[in-house]
Structure 1
Amino acid sequence: MRRLLLALLPLATLLSGCSSTDYDLMQTASIPPRFHDTDPQNFGDRTPQHHNIHGIDVSKWNGDIDWMKVKNSGVSFAFIKATEGKDRVDTRFPEYWQKARAAGIPYAPYHFYYFCSTADDQADWFIANVPKSAVYLPPVLDVEWNGESKTCRHRPTPDEVRVEMKRFMDRLEAHYGKRPIIYTSVDFHRDNLVDQFKEHHFWVRSVAKHPGEVYVERRWAFWQYTSTGVIPGIDGATDINVFAGSAKNWKNWVAAVSQPKQN
């Protein structure tokens, strides 16, 4: 358990002597689900309900949200879509992050990356539309293949992908003083990110199997385990996620990352 604690402290400590699977060495008893799921999956012995800290990710498609009801249902954090590419802003972002803050829910903005414009153009766009006060938890870079897009289906080489990601994240870290979290999907990770960006926290999507089965040697901090969740205060299906560590780990981590790094 001490090694798990070390794994979930700030970034410099995270890298000290932890194996790629330490994030998920939970020693607590199973916790009953806090939310409903209209299409629950069988994850075997390593279910999301073994984790204490649950959260949501939302965009304008979630509509009106009663943030106090969400908070009172047990939601511990919210990832909120902010921008997309070099010219799109989620219209509910300003409302969502301010209401999440008012409700006392730790929040972070995320950017959906398009590989048809430059990393600098997209970083400029994010910085122009996301004030520092909207970045309580570290900002998130959402990288996944977008095969359904009508405007950008370009798939760069893995080397190009990683160069663009690094440039974008370096720009955000320099501006906000917080190292970005990487959100990704199984296929994108397999194609581009295996054994890469070990100094970053990862938020992984895995709605059919436990992340340990589909992400090669990847230590993860957040796991998106369903897109069919039912959260009090939100109409319709909602993505639900878990944090890898205990409630104490969570409290320590939030206290560390909610403050900008000192130069």
Structure 2
Amino acid sequence: MNRLVLFVVLLLSLGARAQDAFEQCEDTCAHIHGIDLSHYQGEVFWETVGQNTKMAYVYLKATEGGDWIDKRYESNIVLAHQYGLKVGSYHFYRPKTDQALQLENFKVQCRPGEQDLIPMIDIETTSGLSTDEFCDSLFKFLELVEKAYKQKPLLYTFTNFYNRHLVGKIDDYQLMIAQYTDEEPVLADERNITMWQYTGKGRIVGVSGYIDKSRFMGQHGLREIRYRH
């Protein structure tokens, strides 16, 4: 009997831990939450995401480099709008690829009339360039993006990448910082952060597998990244 009681207690304990493991940040705070996704998530059931989650926005991967296009972007942006999410689009930047070519690739997909949120540039690699060479490449691209869309893009990067390559160099841009810890990110220069991607292994109804989740920091909100038409 003692062994049976012990077994039941163990099961209950494991069940509680499993529930804690899937506890969602958006269920425990008042910040504005959203997701970003690409073709890696496969088919998304947008009706479920829009009607049964607390996600307010989504950033969709549109393009990468000079010629890569996300195969699910077109359907994702239509359905995300249809089911009530505020939508933005992002481009994965390749520092060694011609900037004008990358901009044209992005512009074909990221059409102003379909955007609720400012474009986002995903900055994760130097492609082997020195910091100075990388920054020279990046800043040329950001200038082209700003001219094309008549507003500064949101910049996405990781805490360590920012601290190593970008401290003090992109102060005029809003940031989404990826840091997968329980602690809010603090950059080396302690500059203000608009948004925090707090997990790459989030769960959400309507999406199978893991998904990136983010939220606004402090009193920041959607109005700050609204696309100005």
The TM-score normalised by the length of structure 1 is 0.72
Aligned: 1:253 with 2:224: yes
Alignment-mate amino acid for residue 179 of structure 1:
K
Please list every run of 5 or more consecutive structure 1 residues that lacks an aligned counterpart in the other structure.
1-35, 146-152
Please name the residue that 1:160 is paired with: 133
Please list every run of 5 or more consecutive structure 2 residues that lacks an aligned counterpart in the other structure.
1-18
Distance 1:251 1:137, change over 3 A: closer
- Measure the CA separation in 2 of the matches of 1:233 and 1:82: 20
Contact in 2 for aligned 1:141/1:182 (Cα 8 Å)? yes
Identical residues among aligned pairs (%): 26
Please name the residue that 2:155 is paired with: 182
After the TM superposition, which segments of 4 or more aligned residues of structure 1 sit over 6 Å from their partners?
none
SS in 2 for 1:104: coil
Contact in 2 for aligned 1:204/1:211 (Cα 8 Å)? no
Q: 1 or 2, which has the higher strand percentage?
A: 2
Please name the residue that 1:171 is paired with: 144
Please name the residue that 2:181 is paired with: 208
Distance 1:79 1:132, change over 3 A: same
Please name the residue that 1:15 is paired with: none
Q: Which has the higher contact order (CA 8 A, sep 6+)?
A: 1
Aligned: 1:133 with 2:106: no
- Measure the CA separation in 1 of the matches of 2:153 and 2:184: 20
Aligned: 1:71 with 2:50: yes
Alignment-mate amino acid for residue 172 of structure 1:
V
Q: How many residues align?
A: 210
The CA deviation at 1:235 is 1.0
Please name the residue that 2:214 is paired with: 241
Alignment-mate amino acid for residue 69 of structure 1:
T
Alignment-mate amino acid for residue 66 of structure 1:
F
- Measure the CA separation in 2 of the matches of 1:101 and 1:78: 10
- Measure the CA separation in 2 of the matches of 1:69 and 1:48: 17
Alignment-mate amino acid for residue 224 of structure 2:
W
- Measure the CA separation in 1 of the matches of 2:121 and 2:20: 26
The TM-score normalised by the length of structure 2 is 0.82
Distance 1:51 1:200, change over 3 A: farther
Contact in 2 for aligned 1:70/1:231 (Cα 8 Å)? yes
The CA deviation at 1:85 is 0.6
